[in-house]
Amino acid sequence: MSGGAAVGVTISRAPAAQSGRKLMTGSEALARSMIAAGCRFFAGYPMTPFTEVLEHMARLLPASGGVCMNAESEIEAVGMAWGAAATGALAATGSTGQGLSLMQESLAEITLARLPLVVLNMARGQGDYFQATRGGGHGDYRHVVLAPKDAAEAVELVGLAFELTTRWRNPVVVMGDYYLAHTSRTVEIPPPRAPSVPAWALDGSSGGSGAAKLVSFLGSYKQRDDVGYNLADHYRACAAETKAMVAGVTPLAETHHVDDAEVIAVAFGTPARFVLAAVRELRAEGARVGLVRPITLFPFPSAALAAAASGAKVVAVYENNQGQMVDDVRLSLLGAVPVEFIGGLSLDDSGFGIGPELEVGEVRRRIEALLGRGTSGA
Amino acid sequence: MPDARIVPTDRPPAEPARLVDDFTPALIDVGAHHLCPGCGEPVAMRLAMEALAELELVRRAIVVFGIGCYTAFSNNLDVEVLQALHGRAPSVATGVKRMRPDTTVLTIQGDGDMVSEGLQEVLHAAARGEAVTCVMLNNGVFGETGGHMTATTVVGQRTKTSLDGRDPELHGRPILLASLLAQVDGTAYVARGAVNNAGNVARTKKMLLRALDVQQQKVGLSFVEILTMCPTGWFVETESAPQYLDEKLAEVHRPGILKDVLA
């Protein structure tokens, strides 16, 4: 993974004493922060734990002058968001991983049409890491993926998502889960922003001018210029934009106790909070353990991770899946430090990713098993 | 041996030959399209552009294109264009219209795009009564892929995927989309035209004008289906395609105005 000079960036926190802080669920925080960021169009199809965000948007967005559509399927939801985005409105959609599978054809082509869009991936567990970070659909494209650990960070990352998608004209994914949607935190919703309408946006007014605008995933050339659609040219141009975006987006990660750590745990999203609690317990008892929490899953904070792990004996990756991010961890370390997968499925009957195995004591035992082991496995 | 059909001449013609460019509407940038000879889609496209111009809607129109042979026009218009995926134009148009209620939104799709791949899109857009105009170019085949069966292919019609003609036992029966949409509460205007002769071209132009006019009243979705010739996809001689349209397609997908709530 390429990227700028990655460092362990801690996102700035608003002072706790400010009066705007309010207790709310992550789903409401996502909705309110999207509206504050200037989002004026939202479309979705109910599916837990995305449903909760859709409900809040249906309630809150019209009062802010926006439109929220309960679409007939995820396919139409992303189509509607596509049309809204083409008018220059800040638009968002989302679903769980299942619904996002239905959206992938459009998400791939929206990227080639160079339209901004924020996509909420409210996953069930963490089995959709590959879907989010590898593009998910057909074609040669990338989406920036941001993974908040709680409602407060979600508010900040939603603001960042709209900034990045506007700047790079490329969809940005905010990855959450059931815990994020349903647990409450005190959060401060930032003041509302009124984004400007970009020059490429369609409003009909350039018709008849001799230079009517075109927004197309097939290219931006007109036949009158004797060129027409040329997919090779267009795909090369999009590849150049993707390369610039990947180099221009600062990878973010949060680190805890890594300086002298013998075992470094790596986890993302809400499960990282369980892992951090286990790490803190072990630290309190004198064990040399630390945590690296990737915040941008793409671009992956490879340099920050490699720097943090340079003195470690083993890196332990926790995910609520069979092991997906662990591939990116291995690619970041390139064999310099052994990597062990200590995660696994934590599910109950619902399949929502809220099973009993994701538990501080259990995570602690898995980390402890690696302490003092020296080097083994990779 | 000289070809007897070629009449030798020693002087230039009295007036220069007319080129397609000479009578192309101003809103179509390049007149010399790359579609097959005898194709009905350029005629339909010309009518749509003329209708926008005559109603003076050009400076607030956004045309949403599907995917088919007619997509050759999506980067060839002096009207704002948003390219959508196959089947998806009505939902994309919904997003446009909801955020820009003052624009005139026109979708262009084929029968494969709208009826095969994306039927639920237009049905739901109609049920919502979206104030957009949807145009469906119906030739009963996937022309761009080379003449394959769609959801509107008529019984008995030969395609590359119904070689002995569409068999109801094997392939089912065609969906008559305009007839279906006329029954949906949210549609305000539903008509089916054709471009296989001068009379049908003139009637279809009036349908497009009416559909766009109805859109301005914001009373529901307006829909115009246009039967278009596809001699290549029908495997018939170019000059016999207009007659084939009358005898095959129009016998099942019957032209006419099916609904006009403002009439």
- Out of A71, A84, A204, the one facing B60 most closely (by C-beta) is A204
Residue A83 has its nearest CB partner, among B59, B79, B82, at B82
| Cβ atoms of residues A224 and B30 within 8 Å | yes
| Nearest residue on chain B to A67, alpha-carbon basis | B98
**Cβ of B92 and A82 within 8 Å?**
yes
SS3 A344: coil
pLDDT at A225: 78
With CA atoms as reference, report the closest residue to B49 among B22, B24, B14: B24
Q: How many CB atoms lie within 10 A of CB A43?
A: 29
Length of chain A: 378
* A307 φ, ψ (degrees, to nearest 5): -65, -45
* B11/B143: higher pLDDT: B143
Quick: pLDDT tens for A202-258. 999 999 999 999 999 999 888 877 777 889 999 999 999 999 999 999 999 999 999
How far apart (Å, rounded) are the C-alpha atoms in residues A334 and B105?
53
| Contacts with B123 (C-beta within 8 Å, 6 or more apart), sequence order | B180, B181, B184
User: What residues contact A192, with CB distance under 8 A and at least 6 apart?
Assistant: A35, A36, A38, A64
pLDDT at A211: 92
Instruction: Inform me whether the pLDDT recorded for B202 exceeds 50.
Output: yes
What is the model's pLDDT at position A355? 87
**Bridge partners for A215 per DSSP:** B82
Contact A56, A62 (CB under 8 A): no
Please check the confidence at residue B23 and state whether its pLDDT lies above 70.
yes
pLDDT for B248 = 96
pLDDT of residue B34: 82
Contacts of A106 in chain B (CB under 8 A): 85, 88
pLDDT tens digits, one per residue of A127-181:
999 999 998 899 999 999 999 999 999 999 999 999 999 999 999 999 999 999 9
Cross-chain CB nearest to B99 (options A84, A205, A214): A84
Pairing relationship of beta strands A296-298 and A144-146 according to DSSP bridges: antiparallel
* Cα torsion A151, A152, A154, A155: sign: positive
Average pLDDT over residues A33-60: 97
Q: Give the tens place of pLDDT for each residue, B137-152.
A: 999 999 999 999 999 9
Instruction: State residue A376's pLDDT score.
Output: 42
Between chain A and chain B, the number of residue pairs with CB atoms below 8 A apart is 156
Q: What percent of chain A has pLDDT over 90?
A: 86
Express as a percent the part of chain A with pLDDT over 70.
93
Rounded to a whole number, what is the distance in Å from the CA of B154 to chain A's nearest CA?
28
What confidence category does residue A192 fall into, taking pLDDT thresholds of 50, 70 and 90? very high
Q: Note whether A113 and B83 are within 8 A (CB).
A: yes
Q: Mutate which of B24, B80, B184 to test chain A, going by most A C-beta atoms within 10 A?
A: B80
CATH architecture designation of domain B35-140+150-260: 3-Layer(aba) Sandwich (3.40)
Delimiting residues of CATH 3.40.50.920 domain(s) in chain A: 253-368
Minimal CA separation from A214 to chain B, in Å:
5
Pairwise CA distance, residues A103 & A128, whole Å:
14
Percent of chain B with pLDDT over 70: 96
Cα angle B255, B260, B263; round to 5: 120
Instruction: Single out the residue of A53, A62, A59 nearest to residue A30, CA to CA.
Output: A53
User: Which residues on A lie below 8 Å from B88 (Cβ)?
Assistant: 75-76, 79, 82, 106
Q: How confident is the model at residue A11 (pLDDT cuts 50, 70, 90)?
A: low
DSSP reduced 3-state for A372: coil
Buried b (16+ CB within 10 A) or exposed e, A258-277: beebbbbbbbbbbbbbbbbb
Map chain B to HEC letters.
CCCCCCCCCCCCCCCCCCCHHHHCCCCECCCCCCCCCCCCHHHHHHHHHHHHHHCCCHHHEEEEECCCHHHHHCCCECCEEEECCCCCHHHHHHHHHHHCCCCEEEEEEEHHHHHHHCHHHHHHHHHCCCCCEEEEEECCEECCCCCEECCCCCCCCCECCECCCCCHHHHCCCCCHHHHHHCCCCEEEEEEEECCCHHHHHHHHHHHHHHHHHHHHCCCEEEEEEECCCHHHHCCCHHHHHHHHHHHHHHHCCCEEEEECCC
Tokens of B67: 């995917």
For the domain with range A21-188, which CATH number is right: 3.10.450.50, 1.10.3720.10, 3.90.180.10, 3.40.50.970?
3.40.50.970
Give the Cα separation of B83 and B67 in Å (integer): 8
Enter the DSSP assignment of A371: T
Start-to-end C-alpha separation, chain B: 64
* Tokens at B78, concatenated: 């002096």
Alpha carbons A325 and A308: distance in angstroms, whole number: 17
Q: Strand pairing of A21-25 and A184-188?
A: antiparallel
Name the CATH topology of A253-368. Rossmann fold (3.40.50)
Task: Give pLDDT, residue A20.
Answer: 81
Check pLDDT > 70 for residue A2. no
| pLDDT for the residue B14 | 75
How far from chain centre, in Å, is Cα A367? 26
Determine, for residues B124 and A80 on separate chains, whether the beta-carbon distance falls below 8 Å: no
| pLDDT per position as a tens digit, A309-363 | 999 999 999 999 999 999 999 999 999 999 999 999 999 998 898 888 999 999 9
Distance CA A123, CA A100 (A): 9
pLDDT score of B1? 63
* Angle (CA) A223 A229 A230, round 5°: 130
First to last CA, chain A: 19
CA–CA gap between residue B188 and residue B131 (Å, rounded): 9
Portions of chain A given CATH number 3.40.50.970: 21-188
Residue B6, pLDDT score = 67
Question: Edge-to-edge strands of the sheet including B256-260?
Answer: A214-215, B80-83, B61-65, B104-110, B133-138, B221-227, B187-194, B256-260
Pairing of β A289-294 and β A253-256? antiparallel
- φ/ψ (deg, to 5) at B233: -75, -20
A80 membership: H or E segment, kind and range: helix A74-86
Render pLDDT for B216-247 as a digit per residue (tens, 0 to 9).
999 999 999 999 999 999 999 999 999 999 99
| Alpha-carbon radius of gyration of chain B | 19
| Mean pLDDT for all residues in chain A | 93
- What pLDDT does residue A377 have? 41
Band of residue A373 on the pLDDT scale cut at 50, 70, 90: low
pLDDT on residue A10: 47
Mean pLDDT for A107-111 is 97
Give A224's contacts in chain B (Cβ within 8 Å).
29-30, 76
pLDDT, tens digit, for every residue of A89-105?
999 999 999 999 999 99
Are A80 and B92 in contact (CB < 8 Å)?
A: yes
Q: What value does the mean pLDDT take over residues A185-207?
A: 95
Domain layout of chain B by residue ranges: 35-140+150-260
Burial of B186 (0-12, 13-18, 19+ CB in 10 A): middle
